[in-house]
């Protein structure tokens, strides 16, 4: 028979095989109670686990039984909370957490990774949105397979476009696909702020922001005026790509936005004809960067023609083949991203009233 403290110890020490983290690191809420002859353990995690919740419950029950619990039943729920953002930046009303996806360099598959990350988080049970912050080269409308125009029900805010269960907004929904955006920096940053603040996001757990390449106006606006909970860096193993990925990391470091980890895209290519594996862009670059800056290696994705074909067709890999190897890789990355975000401090700003001092 285990007491409450012993149960909490077993649960906190349990290694989540999908995130490679101990559950205690993500600060779960644990409740232990006796119901007749049955020992019920209720756990509330701060990150979504819909894809493997039954497996996790079974393995936790086995760990508790091994530790001495009798007739134990484990139930797991998810409650995503709002986490800390940059000091002095007000949070969005209907968005709990914003995750910025950056690369510092174009052509590394950042937008494809962003949309599949958003879809993977949704597949794990979260309420998710994606904001296409690449004003000059919006690609999310094509990848999400929709050409709808946003509508406004109140004449003040615009409704997000929903596709595959994910809410989205992009300048690409407001202009023709081939129309160039010939705008200067101030207009671009104003457009970003309007799309973010004037979109009627509906109770999101996570809003993924697909950033444009570089460390310019958009990124500066993001760091100064957008409440970002955490950032993800996308790179390829290639040295040239890693140079710019390091710049993106340094940018987030300077503005006090925590970097949740590194995703290595196009890490290896396997020939569809003969099965030969080749590291076209080098090997181990993402892991070396993660080690150099003490970052988490969130996962690696292959250079696979299916990823490109799925994105171009408007049916990203996570929805085209949800049980396939590629979708599973994205879903594991999504779990690791959300679990590491759950480690961050919570945002308690909404718990305190605004104090106004008046001189009578």
Q: Tens digits of per-residue pLDDT, 243-273?
A: 888 988 988 888 889 999 999 998 888 777 7
Per-residue confidence (pLDDT) for residue 242, from 0 to 100 = 86
Position 351 scores a pLDDT of 52
Say which residue the tokens 């570089």 belong to.
214
Domain ranges of the chain: 4-78, 95-342
Mark the ranges of the chain whose per-residue pLDDT is less than 50: 352
- Binding-site positions read 104-111
Around Cβ 320, how many Cβ atoms within 10 Å? Answer: 17
Numbered residues of the known binding site for ATP: 104-111
Other CB atoms within 10 Å distance of the CB of residue 350 = 9
Residues 6+ apart with CB under 8 A from 170: 131, 132, 138, 140, 141, 195
Report the topology of domain 4-78.
GMP Synthetase; Chain A, domain 3 (3.30.300)
Fold assignment, 95-342: Rossmann fold (3.40.50)
The sign of the torsion formed by the CA atoms of 51, 232, 178, 226 equals positive
Identify the pLDDT of residue 352.
Answer: 47
Cα separation, 293 vs 248, in Å, equals: 12
d(Cα 322, Cα 34) in Å, to the nearest integer? Answer: 38
Q: Which DSSP category does 198 fall into?
A: S
Please give the biggest Cα pair distance in the chain: 83
Sign of the alpha-carbon torsion through 149, 205, 138, 283: negative
């Amino acid at each position: 028979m285990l007491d409450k403290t012993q149960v909490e110890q077993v649960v906190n020490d349990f290694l989540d095989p999908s995130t490679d983290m101990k559950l205690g690191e993500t600060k779960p809420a644990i409740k232990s109670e006796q119901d007749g002859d049955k020992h019920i353990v209720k756990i509330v995690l701060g990150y979504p686990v819909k894809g493997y919740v039954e497996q996790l419950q079974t393995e936790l029950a086995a760990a508790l039984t091994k530790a001495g619990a009798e007739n134990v039943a484990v139930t797991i729920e998810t409650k995503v909370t709002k986490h800390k953002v940059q000091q002095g930046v007000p949070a969005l009303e209907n968005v709990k957490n914003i995750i910025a996806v950056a690369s510092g360099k174009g052509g590394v598959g950042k937008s494809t990774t962003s949309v599949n990350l958003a879809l993977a988080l949704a597949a794990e049970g979260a309420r998710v949105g994606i904001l296409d912050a690449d004003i000059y080269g919006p690609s999310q409308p094509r990848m999400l397979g929709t050409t709808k125009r946003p509508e406004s029900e109140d004449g003040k805010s615009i409704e997000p476009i929903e596709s595959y269960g994910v809410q989205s907004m992009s300048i690409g929904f407001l202009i023709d696909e081939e129309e160039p955006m010939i705008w200067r920096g101030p207009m671009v940053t104003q457009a970003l702020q309007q799309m973010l603040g004037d979109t009627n996001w509906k109770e999101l757990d996570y809003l993924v922001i697909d950033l444009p390449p570089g460390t310019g106006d958009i990124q500066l606006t993001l760091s100064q005026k957008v409440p970002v909970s955490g950032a993800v860096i996308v790179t390829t193993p290639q040295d040239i790509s890693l140079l710019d990925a390091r710049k993106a990391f340094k940018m987030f470091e300077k503005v006090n936005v925590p970097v949740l980890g590194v995703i290595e895209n196009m890490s290896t290519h396997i020939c569809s004809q003969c099965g030969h594996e080749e590291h076209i862009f080098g090997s181990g670059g993402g892991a070396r960067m993660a080690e150099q800056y003490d970052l988490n290696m969130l996962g690696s994705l292959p250079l696979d023609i299916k990823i490109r074909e799925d994105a171009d067709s408007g049916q990203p890999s996570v929805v085209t083949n949800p049980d396939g190897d590629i979708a599973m890789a994205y879903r594991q990355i999504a779990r690791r991203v959300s679990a590491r975000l759950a480690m961050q401090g919570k945002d308690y700003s909404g718990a305190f009233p605004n104090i106004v001092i008046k001189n009578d």
